[in-house]
Structure formats: structure tokens, C-alpha cells
Amino acid sequence: MRLLILLLSLSFAFSLELFPQMANLRSFPRQLEGEKLKSWLSEDSYPKTRLYLGNVPLTEGLMKKLLENANLDAVPQQVDVKYGITLRRADLKLLPTELTVHKGNPEIDYNQYTALDPLTPLAVLHRSKDGRWLYVQSPIMRGWLKVEDVRELNEEEFFRLLDLPFLVVIKPKLKIGGLEYSMSAKIPYLSKEKDRYLVLMPDGSVEWIKGEGVIEGYWQFSEDKAKLLLDSLLGMPYEWGGFYDCSAVVRAFFGVFGIELPRNSSQQATVGRGVERTFNSYQELKELLKTFPPYRTVLYMKGHIMIFGGFEGEDPVIYHAVYAIKRDDGKMVYPKAVVKNLLERDGLTNLYKRIVAVKVY
């Protein structure tokens, strides 16, 4: 167990260095080279295929306008970093627009990076040309937030906030003062009286809450706790880049135990210890899984990641948020939710053909 905990801590420390989209905001530089910021502003792009912006084709002209609004020409030689927090649950975007970018299904929005919980700390780096968006670095990803979703703080206020003790949300969704938090969200608190906490709200006010659906700090891992968390997520709607898509489930689940992971599934698959390989048969995958710990293991295939939940009898169990999946009989099914599957019972043994990594966190 001590060795496993050591491996987990090593993978966490390594992940922050490996993924430049992630950041430890305590040690984030106070000043940033302008050229560095420009490279960040232009580092990501949409898929190279026919796309729509809202309900019209995304033409070169429209794309040029989106890029112009990113305001690269206004980036100074040296950027003074400012600080802030999210005022509410807020959508982090690839480019500064509220319009969806999609292949024909607006539920799959390529402009949507992720949703940040209230009180997420931010390094504020840049403003869009129209003044409606801020380019920020969050702990897990960079992108554009609407100005009205951000409360700017001075440096002293920001670092005082980071030093506060915090509660961790252990429910799929938790509402406090009209704001909604997702699993593993951190909520700073100022004091405690019996089973009540005086928590900080994003607008600077405070509110007393009962300790239901939250814990002080991180949970110590156990299989019982892990199963409880995953079972509580079952049935939650699939939301691309929102509350719970496949990588958001993985990040939220492991975050309760203090394991901070990247946001994207492809990056999550390179963290941890395990194997990166393909499989010649379902039986080969099944035999390998017998050697991996349940609830600490993930299975990755291009574009999708799943949590291994052990075996029920001889049938491997997976938990995942899935929009659509093809069964062994060739039929496409559309759960559009967080589900628990038994590979043999549910006719999903063909997934072995697509799995390219099995990792332990």
C-alpha cells in the first residue's frame, strides 16, 4: 500500500510538469513573456473538417473574425498577471464566442473546453477585442471565460484564499446559495461549529452550511468509498465539456481522493503507472485486468476513458460517461449518461480492440 501511495504521488507531481495546460497557481509567474502568451492563445484549434458556427457553416471569414477577437495584436511585450476567481459555474472556451462549433450535432461543441466550478482560482492574462471575454489560466486548463463570470482579486486576497482550509464535494451536484458545484469541487471555509461550516461565497459573502455532501480535505481511498462515489454518479446526463463527460467523471472521481488529473482523456491516459499497448483478444484484456486494482484503474481508447470497477463473477465492470457506443452485435446505443457496464452481460467485449492503455492512479 505504501508503494502504491508513493506511485500515486509521483504520478501527480509528474502530471503538472508534463501537461503545460495545468498550473500550480501558487507558483505561477507574476509576469509572462508576451510571445509565450501569444503561443498559448493560438496553440489549439478545431478539427480539420466541415464545421458549423451555431447554425451556419464556419467559413474562413467567420474563423478570421473569431481569431481577431482573441486580440493577439494587443498582447504587450511583458504581461502583468492578474488574479481572480469564478463567480459561478462557468464555461471555459477555446475561442471567445458563445456560439457552438460542431460537425452537425451542437451537443458536441468543439469550442467548449470544460466547465469550472464556482471559486475556481484563476490567473487572468488577457482580454478579448470586444471586451467581453478574459483569457485565464485555471489549475487544469487555459481558455476564455465571460467577463461577468470572473471576480478579480488583488494578489493578497488571492493567496489568502488559496491558504484557506477547504471542503471537498462528494455528491454529483451540490447547491449552496443558489450556486452549483460538481463532485471534487473545493469550497474554502473560515470556521467550523459542530457539523456546520462557514463557507466563503464567490462574491465575498459567507454562508453557514451543514456538512452534508462535503468532507474536510480529501478522502482517504477505500474501495467502499470509491464504489459509493461511482454509484452516485450513475444516471447523470452526459455533457460534452460540462458536468460529466468521460474525462470529467474520471477527474471528479479521483479528485475526491486528492489525485489531480488533466482534463482531457488523452492526457489522463499518460498519467499513472501501467501499460500502453493493444490487445489481440478480449480474453487477453480480461486476464490483464485480473492483475490491476479495481477503482484505481482506468481503460483508455482514443477519445474515451473508463474506470475499471473490478469483477462481478467473471465479468469485468466499467464505469463511464458515454454518449454513444457500439455493442458486439453491431448495434449503436445512446446512453447519453454515466453508466455501469458489465462487458460480457452488456455485449461490449469488442472494446478490447480499441483499448490502448490501462493505467493505475
Q: 3-state DSSP call for residue 41?
A: helix
Q: Is residue 350 predicted with pLDDT exceeding 80? A: yes
DSSP for 199-257? EEPTTS-EEEEESTTEEESPPPP-HHHHHHHHHHHTTPBP-TTSS-SHHHHHHHHHHTT
Give the pLDDT band (50/70/90) at residue 11. Answer: very low
pLDDT for 263 equals: 86
On whether the CB atoms of residues 299 and 306 are closer than 8 A, the answer is yes
Q: Is residue 175 predicted with pLDDT exceeding 70? A: yes
Cell readout for 114 is 470544460
pLDDT for 215 equals: 98
For 56-106, write each residue's pLDDT tens digit. 999 999 999 999 999 999 999 999 999 999 999 999 999 999 999 999 999
Q: Is residue 18 predicted with pLDDT exceeding 80? A: no
For 248-283, write each residue's pLDDT tens digit. 999 999 999 999 999 889 889 988 899 999 999 999
Which fold, 223-360? Answer: endopeptidase fold (from Nostoc punctiforme) (3.90.1720)
Q: Which residues pair with 84 in a beta bridge?
A: 122, 152
Give the residue among 180, 205, 164, 161 at the shortest CA–CA distance from 117. 180
Which fold, 164-216? Answer: SH3 type barrels. (2.30.30)
At position 12, the amino acid (one-letter code) is F
pLDDT for 241 equals: 86
Cα gap 44→40, rounded to integer Å: 8
On whether the CB atoms of residues 317 and 245 are closer than 8 A, the answer is no
For 314-332, what is the mean pLDDT? 97
List of residues 6+ apart from 65 with CB closer than 8 A: none
Give the pLDDT band (50/70/90) at residue 44. Answer: confident
Domains of the chain by residue range: 17-153, 164-216, 223-360
For 210-237, write each residue's pLDDT tens digit. 999 999 999 999 999 999 999 999 999 9
Question: What mean pLDDT value characterizes the chain?
Answer: 93
Q: Is residue 284 predicted with pLDDT exceeding 80? A: yes
Give the pLDDT band (50/70/90) at residue 242. Answer: confident
Please count the CA atoms within 13 angstroms of the CA of 34 that sit on its side-chain side.
8
Cα gap 329→352, rounded to integer Å: 15
For 147-165, what is the mean pLDDT? 98
For residue 18, give the H/E element and its range. helix 2-18
Give the count of beta carbons closer than 10 Å to the beta carbon of residue 180. 15
List of residues 6+ apart from 228 with CB closer than 8 A: none
Cα gap 11→270, rounded to integer Å: 10
On whether the CB atoms of residues 174 and 213 are closer than 8 A, the answer is yes
